[in-house]
Amino acid sequence: MKKYRIIAASILSLAMLAGCTTNEGRSRGEYDPDADTTGNEVDTPTPTPADIPTVIVPEETPTPTPADIDDGPVFDGYESSEKEIAGFLDGTWYLHEGANMIEAPDGLWDHFEFNADTMTAKYTMAYAAETAYFDFELKDAYPDVPGQYNLLYLTATGATEGFPYDIKGQVDTFMIIPVRDGMGDRLLIQQVGNGMSEFAYATLNEKRQADGDFWIFNRDYGETPHVGVNGMERERNLNKNDHFYAIRYSDYGSECSLQEVEPLFVELEMEDESLADVICFGWSDNGHPFNTVNYDIKGKEMLANSGAFLPGLVEVTTDADGKITEILDCPSFAYGYFCEAANGAPDIDRDDAVYGPTDKMFLGDWLCKDDGVGSLQITTADPQTGGYYLLFDVYRLCVIEAYANIDGNMLSINQGYINYTLPFAATLEIKGDELRVTVTESDFEYLPVGTVMLYEKK
């Protein structure tokens, strides 16, 4: 796979843009064959053959054609215009609180209001009834992916008297992803740079983010979970027998909604001159670049459909029916780029000194013995330190995502969540052919501490 070098500072220069200068190029004297000459003419004798030196003419070097010149990454996706994206932003957007997809319709929600004609915006804190005002502009986030206008600059011009801090003059830079699904328009916003700004930290607030450090805004608030495109449109738009990259917008356990994007693989040169293989992306030239399509996940038909926003870049493989057979997360890297390695796992061999026989015992797919339907999948997370990734499906009850480490001859969960929100922890031990899971932490009333679940290898 071809790689290209991109200096990491290029996107930072966008994030901290204050202005730039260019050198226009120096003028040079050019030979004019029609110009008048001055001076006396002198008769020049005609040279004889003996007077003419032998001249060796070097072989002509062919002039390179455009096809011979490597101009770096070539983006083959859909190129939008600033007017198009500004037009999408135009209007009112309500901040969605966290990962749960269902909210009370009578709630008070913070909201952005964008005006595409004046390129201005305002953000209102609903409960405080205070507003900040901005000028905004749109640029390309990645230097080699033109025509995206996916970088939003907000320059604060002032605020109402009761706004909690002095915001005037502050500049915020966000990566934005426009999304259209079956129930309306969404807007994903992720701050880029070295950390959160005061506006992002104190006003938007990290506790209101969904997965992947994204804030999600809805064109209209109080919506029920979206149902996706109708059957005919869904069938027409499914990528079948395909391998592609997409922004995962939401996850229902048995299906997820995906916005196909065009990936670009680059070799990023960091400020310390180290190199990293990363991914950036642009809008796909598929006829519906901002629309999501709902995909079924093969073999997951019985998973609990709790629903959650889990936005992020994913690598997807589908079968002849358009069902997902493999979906791999591409974790965030830095500066808005993403890692190639799925689930953050380094592409290195597992350390046998850490794992030994324990590794072979736990890895794989397990079925719950109590009902024969619930399942548990255990895969690698960190090959060098004994890390595992666990995905539970407790039949018709919940989905549990967790990370665990080896603790002697058992696994101990160090971080886990039920339905993406409630804390969860457990220990896993193998007794003969049986895997015993004992719940040690849970805020879910139907899965209290002390619950034991028994599994057998699929």
Residue 102 lies in a domain: yes
Average pLDDT over residues 351-377: 76
Residue 97 lies in a domain: yes
From 319, 344, 369, the end of a domain falls on 344
- Sign of the C-alpha dihedral computed for residues 364, 367, 373 and 377 taken in this order: negative
Model confidence at 149: pLDDT above 60: yes
201 and 248 fall within a common domain: no
User: What is the C-alpha to C-alpha distance for residues 313 and 328, in angstroms, rounded to an integer?
Assistant: 9
- Choose from 3-7, 63-67, 216-220, 285-289 the range with maximum mean pLDDT: 285-289
Residue 343: what pLDDT?
Answer: 46
Residue 92 lies in a domain: yes
Average pLDDT over residues 259-277: 84
Lowest-confidence segment of 77-81, 268-272, 417-421 by average pLDDT:
268-272
166 and 260 fall within a common domain: no
Count the domains in the chain.
3
Residue 62 lies in a domain: no
Residue 4 lies in a domain: no
262 and 214 fall within a common domain: no
To the nearest whole number, what is the mean pLDDT of the chain?
Answer: 78
User: What is the C-alpha to C-alpha distance for residues 268 and 157, in angstroms, rounded to an integer?
Assistant: 35
Q: Which residues, in sequence order, are CB contacts of 359 under 8 Å at separation 6+?
A: 350
From 167, 197, 218, the end of a domain falls on 218
237 and 332 fall within a common domain: yes
Residue 304 lies in a domain: yes
Helix (H, G, I), strand (E, B) or coil at 138: strand
Q: Which domain holds residue 387?
A: 352-457
Residue 354: what pLDDT?
Answer: 62
Residue 435 — very low, low, confident or very high, per pLDDT cuts 50/70/90?
A: very high
**Contact of 178 with 290, CB cutoff 8 Å:** yes
Lowest-confidence segment of 170-179, 316-325, 352-361 by average pLDDT:
352-361
Helix (H, G, I), strand (E, B) or coil at 248: strand
Which residues are 244's β-sheet partners?
316
243 and 213 fall within a common domain: no
Alpha carbon separation from 37 to 29, 43, 406, 421 (Å, rounded) = 16, 16, 90, 86
331 and 248 fall within a common domain: yes
Higher pLDDT, 234 or 290: 290
Model confidence at 262: pLDDT above 90: yes
Q: Which of 125, 247, 239, 250 is nearest to 182 (CA)?
A: 250
237 and 179 fall within a common domain: no
Model confidence at 23: pLDDT above 60: no
Lowest-confidence segment of 286-295, 364-373, 393-402 by average pLDDT:
364-373
Virtual torsion, Cα 120, 101, 333, 112, nearest 10 deg: 10
Helix (H, G, I), strand (E, B) or coil at 240: coil
95 and 183 fall within a common domain: yes
Residue 416 lies in a domain: yes
Q: Which of 217, 307, 204, 323 is nearest to 253 (CA)?
A: 307
pLDDT, tens digit, 9 for 90 and up, residues 178-218: 998 766 788 999 988 766 889 998 899 888 888 778 899 98
pLDDT, tens digit, 9 for 90 and up, residues 306-329: 677 888 899 999 999 999 998 888
Residue 65: what pLDDT?
Answer: 54
407 and 423 fall within a common domain: yes
**CATH code (residue 98):** 2.40.128
List, as one string, the DSSP characters of 392-454: EEETTTEEEEEEEEEETTEEEEEEEEETTTEEEEEEEEEETTEEEEEEEEE--TTS-TT-EEE
Higher pLDDT, 7 or 185: 185
pLDDT, tens digit, 9 for 90 and up, residues 50-88: 454 444 444 555 555 544 444 556 788 999 999 999 999
Average pLDDT over residues 164-181: 92
Average pLDDT over residues 149-176: 94
425 and 340 fall within a common domain: no
Residue 68 lies in a domain: no
From 218, 246, 267, the end of a domain falls on 218
303 and 359 fall within a common domain: no
265 and 302 fall within a common domain: yes
